[in-house]
Chain A
Amino acid sequence: MDTPSIVGVRNQKVIPEQKRKRFSLTKGIVILFLSVLVITQVYPLIWLVLYSFKTNEEILSGSFFSLPHSPQWVNFSNALAGGRYFRYLGNSFFVTSVTMICVIIFSSLAAFAISRFRWRYDQVLLLMFLVGMMIPMQATLLPLMIIFKNMNILNTHLSLILPYIAFQTPIAVFILHGFMKTIPAEIEESAIMDGASVFRVYWNIILPVSIPPVVTVCILTFINIWNEYILAATFISAERLKTLPFGVNSFVSQYSVNYGAIGAFLVLGALPVIVVYFLLADKITEGMVAGAVKG
C-alpha cells in the first residue's frame, strides 16, 4: 500500500509492464475520485442535451434529472431556421481561426524574446502585458468604439479580430513565457555555436519543444472567444457578419425567453467543437508527448 510501489506510470515509454499491474488501494481511491470528478464535470453537457429537447415550462420547473416529456425537435428547427446557424458558424469559425493563428504567432515570438534574449526591458514589457490581462473588457468598449469608428472598420470582422487578438495575446505571452523559461538553455547555446540564426532557433528548437503550452494556449484562446458576445454585439450590426453567440441570444426577447431553442443552438454550437477536438485529440497527445521527449 505504500506509494512508491505504484510509481512510474507517468511515463508510459519507460514503465515496465509488470509494475502497472500491481493493485493498490491508493490507486483505487484515486481512480474513484477522478471518476466522480468526471461525472460532475461532464454532467452539464448531458444536461444541456436534455435541456435542448425540453419545453420552456419543463426547463423552468427546475428539475435536475428529468428526461424531456416528449422531445422538442422544434427547438432544433427554430435554431436552424433561416440558415442563420450555418452562416454564424462560418463566421465564428473564421474569426476564431484567424485570431488563434495570429495569437500563436505574435505571442510565441514575443514570449521567446522576453524569455531568451538578453536585453534590458524584458521585464517591463512583460509587466505591460500583464496589465493588459487585467483590463475588464467592458471598460474598453467605449474607447474601442471611437477608435474603430475613426479607423472605419466598425461592422467588419476586423473589428472583432483586432480586439480578440489584443486581449488574448497578453495571456498567451504570459503562459508561453512561463513555459519557455523552464527550457534548459544549453540546447540553443549549442545551436547558436553551430551558426544557426535566431529565427532558426525559435522555429526549429523552441517552438517544437513548446507544443504542449501552445496547444494549451490554443484551447484557452478558443474558449475565450468562441462564446464572446459583448464586443461582437457592439461592433457588428450586419446580419451576414454575426457570430454564434448572436444565435444563442436571439432567443431572448424583451418579455420572453425561448430556453429550449437556446439549448438547441448551444448544442449545435458546441457540437463541431467537440467533434473536431476529439478528432484531433490523438494528434494533440502525440504533440504533447513529442514535446516532452524532445525537452
Chain B
Amino acid sequence: MNVLKVSRFTIVAFILPCTLIYFGIVFVPILVSLYSGLLEWNGIGQSSFVGLENFRNLFFQDPVFWPSVRRTLMFAVFSMAEIPLALMVAIFLRRYIRKPNFLVSSYFMPVILSVVIIGQLWKTIYNPAAMGGMLNQILETVGLESWTRSWLTEPKVAMFALYFVALWQYLGYHTLIQFTGISNIPAEIYEAARIDGAEGFKADRYITFPMIIPIFKISIVLAFIGSLQAFDMVMVMTGGGPAHATDVISTHMYNMSFLSMKYGYGSSIAAVLVVVCLIATVIINFIFNKLEKRFS
C-alpha cells in the first residue's frame, strides 16, 4: 500500500493546504461547539458554566433524545442496507447497458433537485386519498382500503414513510459511487478471468466483490454519516412532528439550539452526535479491514 518513502517536507507540502483550511473552519468550530455543550446559554446573552449538567439531562431526563437516537440509527441501518442494491444496479448497468452514463445520471436526478421539491412531491404521494394522495388512491383502487392511512401523521408509520423517501432519493447517489468503483477495475482482469472461464456472476464473486470492497466501504460510511445528519428532508416533510414522532438527532439539536434557545444544550447534542459517528466509523473501519484482508 503505502510505498513511497518521502521527506517530511514533501508530506507537509502535500497535506498542508487541506489540513490548514480544515482545522480552521471545521475543527475549531467543533471544539467551540464541544465547549458550548458545557454551558447554559440561550445563544444571545450571558452564559454560565454548568459542567456536565447538559449531558446528564440529555441522557436521563430528555424524553425526546433516546427515541430520536433510535430513529437516527434505524435511518442509518436502512440507508446502509440500500448499498448492496445500489451495487447490484451498478453491476447491471456495467454489464447490460451499452452507454450506461446516461442512466447513471438519470438515477442521480433526485439528489440534484432541491429537497423542497422532493418534499412537495412525496407529500402529494402520501396525502390522504381525498386530497389526491396517490399512494392511498392506488391502494383503494386495488381493493386494499384497509391499508390506506395518513402516512405522514400516524406516529407509527410516519418515520418509515420518511426512511423510504430517503432510500429512493439516495439510490442514485450510491449507484454513482459503486459504478465509478466498478469502472475503475482494470478491464484486463475480467479479460483474464474470462479466459479462465469465470464469467458473469462467477466473475463478480471472484473479481468485482473483492475489488469493490474499499468503494463499498465508502458508500457505507457516507450512508451512515448522511443519515445521521438527515435534516432537510425531515424538516420539509414533517418538521419532526407529530409531537416529536419523527424527530431525529439533528432536528432535535436544531429545535433545542435555535427554537427553544438552549444553545448550550443543543451543542451537547451535537457533541453526542459526533461521538456516535466516530464510534460507528471505527467499527465500520474495523469490519472492512478484516474483510479486505480476507479477500486480498
Contacts of A270 in B (CB 8 A): 112-113
Query: Which chain B residues (46-72) contact chain A, with CB distance < 8 Å?
Result: none
Contacts of A34 in B (CB 8 A): 89, 92-93, 96-97, 103
Does B250 sit at the interface, judged by CB under 8 A? yes
Does A132 sit at the interface, judged by CB under 8 A? yes
Contact stretch, chosen from A74-82, A84-92, A165-173: A165-173
Does B83 sit at the interface, judged by CB under 8 A? no
Q: A34-B97, A270-B112 are in contact. Are A144 and B180 (CB under 8 A)?
A: no
Contacts of B263 in A (CB 8 A): 142
Contacts of B228 in A (CB 8 A): 134
Q: A41-B172, A292-B187 are in contact. Are A105 and B17 (CB under 8 A)?
A: yes
Contacts of B32 in A (CB 8 A): 142-143, 146
* Contact assessment for B22 and A132 in the assembled complex, using a CB-CB cutoff below 8 Å: yes
* Contact assessment for A136 and B273 in the assembled complex, using a CB-CB cutoff below 8 Å: yes
Q: A139-B29, A170-B22 are in contact. Are A216 and B132 (CB under 8 A)?
A: no
Closest chain B residue to A40, Cβ basis: B168
Does B290 sit at the interface, judged by CB under 8 A? no
CA distance in complex: A130, B225 (Å): 10
* Contact assessment for B26 and A8 in the assembled complex, using a CB-CB cutoff below 8 Å: no
Contacts of B108 in A (CB 8 A): 41, 219
Does B229 sit at the interface, judged by CB under 8 A? yes
Q: A47-B121, A140-B26, A198-B6 are in contact. Are A6 and B184 (CB under 8 A)?
A: no
CA distance in complex: A149, B48 (Å): 23
CA distance in complex: A117, B11 (Å): 8
Does A233 sit at the interface, judged by CB under 8 A? no
Taking residues whose C-beta sits less than 8 angstroms from the other chain, chain A's interface range is 35 or more
Does B1 sit at the interface, judged by CB under 8 A? yes
Does A22 sit at the interface, judged by CB under 8 A? no
Does A51 sit at the interface, judged by CB under 8 A? yes
Query: Which chain B residues (13-39) contact chain A, with CB distance < 8 Å?
Result: 14-15, 17-19, 21-22, 24-30, 32-33, 36
Closest chain A residue to B271, Cβ basis: A139
Chain B interface main SS type: helix
* Contact assessment for B200 and A45 in the assembled complex, using a CB-CB cutoff below 8 Å: no
Min C-beta distance of B37 to chain A, whole Å: 10
Does A113 sit at the interface, judged by CB under 8 A? yes
Query: Which chain B residues (239-296) contact chain A, with CB distance < 8 Å?
Result: 250, 253-254, 257-258, 263, 266-267, 270, 273-274, 277-278, 281
Closest chain B residue to A137, Cβ basis: B229
Please tell me which one of the listed residues B14, B131, B199, B222 contacts residue A112 in the complex, with CB atoms under 8 A apart.
B14
CA distance in complex: A5, B201 (Å): 11
Instruction: Please tell me the number of chain B residues within 8 Å of chain A, measured between CB atoms.
Output: 109
- Map CB proximity to A onto B128-158 as digits: 1 under 8 Å, 0 otherwise: 0001111000000000000000000000000
Q: A4-B202, A147-B29, A288-B180 are in contact. Are A106 and B21 (CB under 8 A)?
A: yes
Closest chain B residue to A176, Cβ basis: B218
Contacts of A266 in B (CB 8 A): 113-114, 116-117
Contact surface of A with B, Cβ cutoff 8 Å: 3-14, 27, 30-31, 33-34, 37-38, 40-42, 44-45, 47-48, 51, 59, 61-64, 105-107, 109-110, 112-119, 122, 125, 127-136, 138-140, 142-144, 146-147, 162-163, 165-167, 169-171, 173-175, 178-179, 181-182, 185, 188-189, 192, 198, 201-202, 212-213, 215-216, 219-220, 223, 226-227, 245, 248, 259, 262-263, 266, 269-270, 273, 277-278, 281, 284-285, 288-289, 291-293, 295
Told that A3-B201, A165-B25, A266-B117 touch, could you supply 14 new A-B pairs with CB distance under 8 A? A61-B132, A64-B124, A110-B19, A118-B3, A132-B30, A134-B274, A139-B257, A143-B28, A147-B25, A169-B22, A178-B217, A182-B214, A185-B1, A212-B180
Contact surface of B with A, Cβ cutoff 8 Å: 1-6, 10-11, 14-15, 17-19, 21-22, 24-30, 32-33, 36, 43, 89, 92-99, 101-103, 105-118, 120-121, 123-125, 127, 131-134, 168, 171-173, 176-177, 180-187, 190-191, 194, 199-203, 211, 214-215, 217-218, 221-222, 225, 228-229, 231, 250, 253-254, 257-258, 263, 266-267, 270, 273-274, 277-278, 281
What 5 A-B pairs have minimum CB-CB distances, sorted nearest first? A7-B199, A166-B25, A134-B277, A143-B29, A139-B270
Listed A/B pairs (20) with beta-carbon separation below 8 Å: A8-B190, A34-B93, A62-B132, A64-B132, A110-B14, A110-B18, A110-B19, A113-B11, A117-B2, A128-B22, A132-B22, A135-B29, A136-B273, A138-B258, A142-B32, A142-B43, A143-B33, A173-B18, A188-B4, A219-B108
